[in-house]
Chains A and B, each alone.
Chain A
């Protein structure tokens, strides 16, 4: 999966987790929590969804990598390179 596709996947997952949020105006460089009403359970849901869909494993000590869209995509790019969308 290319970085662009990973971004699409994250947007899709966020759409399910926070259906009331406008994701069209998301600033990729800024932390999700500064733009969206997300709590720690929401981040856990992103982790669980990625494992369920693509068998990507994210250890707890690396959850911090999911802070913003930019950091999430660069963290996941090597992990998801071989996965087909």
Chain B
């Protein structure tokens, strides 16, 4: 008989969280901490969603999720998780760009970028200041008509090189393009510019281990290998969930699954009103990615001056369709030095990431798929040669992930690695009005994506949930013992 992953799970909870991406983990932690009885379900065998890692023989541990987040993570981790987690966050020093228009290294903060724009790109200081102030003043509820492309055209008309410097890292961070609303760019860019780029020392495995410890301490029940099958709705309200052949009663479900999976698989169209259904159907998912993971031999090193993040491109121009094309010209290399995982015998690792389209990979037959993956590895090694000479001799392990890989591990619609486009935020926020008790805390609307965006969205949603439970007369054990 297969192992029963729901063996110690109760029949009734205050909240069931579906999916343990950073948004689901954070919502579960906050609600558990405020005295709610919480069950966290994860379909995969480990927690973290896209904040994940994998091991390969030889002691290699590869991080999947993107290398670098804004300083705001320190505050969010301290407040919604623990000081131990917040204290592991360290700055990245070397962000590099190398393309036919320019090659430079930067600390990637406002001060450094202001100097660069003035000295290297010859932009007037007043224009630079006005641009930064405009981006910093943006709110997620502002107008959406202006696109990021139009924002750049207003401040830096005709300056494709400046656009490339300002846009390329953000496209890598959240999949947004020049055609998306300018606010999605301004908010994320300003978050980074406030203090630069940070990473989690110890790696994603260490982060998730600490989070799991915190969840357990806060009384959250966790079931892995347990894909939710159906969200149960009666008289228009959430009453439970079906998982592993069991029915678990709960007045609240927080879905950290992809928005489309939540609505059209777990809920079902028949429970949604027609207009809402149309609005939800029209939500575009963001693009997917390919990655190539490379490990160096035990005695091989990468010189520190190579940098931590390298935005490399051979494309003469900066265009959205070129970034998504199968004919890859732009790659972001993340260099991991052994001190990233001080506790282990870590080696030098390199991960190359590229934005990609699901359609380009979805229908390949097995043979063509394997050949395409091998081609991805080979062309990536060719591109890396410029930055790490003789890289083929130094690298002892290389393998590729494609949109199909991301789909396999996360079940995200079309392997989306950055959630949905901007319109997904409104649909996600409106869910509880459609079906009382149903909440969504996944990666939506670009601004709620990335490590910081998803954690903060988990907090926003758990606040709504706690409010709903209290209105329904369900006080927490914490509140009743305090009064």
Whether chain B is bound by chain A comes out as yes
A residues near B, CB below 8 A? 17, 40-41, 44-45, 47-48, 51-53, 55, 57, 59-60
A-side contacts of B459, CB under 8 Å: 41, 44
User: Nearest 4 pairs between A and B by C-beta?
Assistant: A48-B463, A41-B456, A44-B463, A57-B467
Q: A45 with B79: in contact, given A52-B479, A55-B475 (CB under 8 Å)?
A: yes
Contact across chains for B470 and A51 when beta carbons are under 8 A apart: yes
Contact pick for A55, options B79, B460, B479, CB 8 Å: B479
A-side contacts of B466, CB under 8 Å: 48, 51
B-side contacts of A17, CB under 8 Å: 79
Q: A51 with B475: in contact, given A41-B76, A41-B459 (CB under 8 Å)?
A: no
B-side contacts of A60, CB under 8 Å: 464
Contact across chains for A52 and B34 when beta carbons are under 8 A apart: yes
Closest to A16 in B: B79
Q: A44 with B478: in contact, given A51-B467, A51-B470, A55-B470 (CB under 8 Å)?
A: no
B275 touches A (CB below 8 Å): no
Closest to B482 in A: A53
Measured between alpha carbons, how far is A44 from B76 in the docked complex, in Å?
12
Measured between alpha carbons, how far is A57 from B473 in the docked complex, in Å?
12
Measured between alpha carbons, how far is A51 from B467 in the docked complex, in Å?
8
Contact across chains for B463 and A47 when beta carbons are under 8 A apart: yes
Q: Give 25 A-B contacts (CB < 8 Å), ordered by A residue.
A: A17-B79, A40-B139, A41-B75, A41-B456, A41-B459, A44-B459, A44-B460, A44-B463, A45-B79, A47-B463, A48-B463, A48-B466, A51-B467, A51-B470, A52-B34, A52-B478, A52-B479, A53-B482, A55-B470, A55-B475, A55-B479, A55-B483, A57-B470, A59-B467, A60-B464
User: How many pairs, one residue from A and one from B, have CB atoms within 8 Å of each other in the complex?
Assistant: 29
Measured between alpha carbons, how far is A52 from B478 in the docked complex, in Å?
8
Least Cβ–Cβ distance between B366 and chain A, in angstroms: 46
Q: Using an 8 Å CB-CB cutoff, how does the interface string of B66-104 with A read, 1 for contact, 0 for none?
A: 000000000110010000000000000000000000000
Measured between alpha carbons, how far is A57 from B483 in the docked complex, in Å?
16
B451-483 contacts to A (CB < 8 Å)? 456, 459-460, 463-464, 466-467, 470-471, 475, 478-479, 482-483
Least Cβ–Cβ distance between B352 and chain A, in angstroms: 33
Measured between alpha carbons, how far is A33 from B479 in the docked complex, in Å?
30
Least Cβ–Cβ distance between A32 and chain B, in angstroms: 16
A-side contacts of B76, CB under 8 Å: 41
Closest to B464 in A: A60
A-side contacts of B482, CB under 8 Å: 53
Measured between alpha carbons, how far is A23 from B211 in the docked complex, in Å?
32
Least Cβ–Cβ distance between A53 and chain B, in angstroms: 8
B-side contacts of A55, CB under 8 Å: 470, 475, 479, 483
Closest to B466 in A: A51
B-side contacts of A59, CB under 8 Å: 467
Closest to A55 in B: B479
Closest to B35 in A: A52
Least Cβ–Cβ distance between A67 and chain B, in angstroms: 14
B111-145 contacts to A (CB < 8 Å)? 139
Least Cβ–Cβ distance between A48 and chain B, in angstroms: 5
Measured between alpha carbons, how far is A58 from B151 in the docked complex, in Å?
36
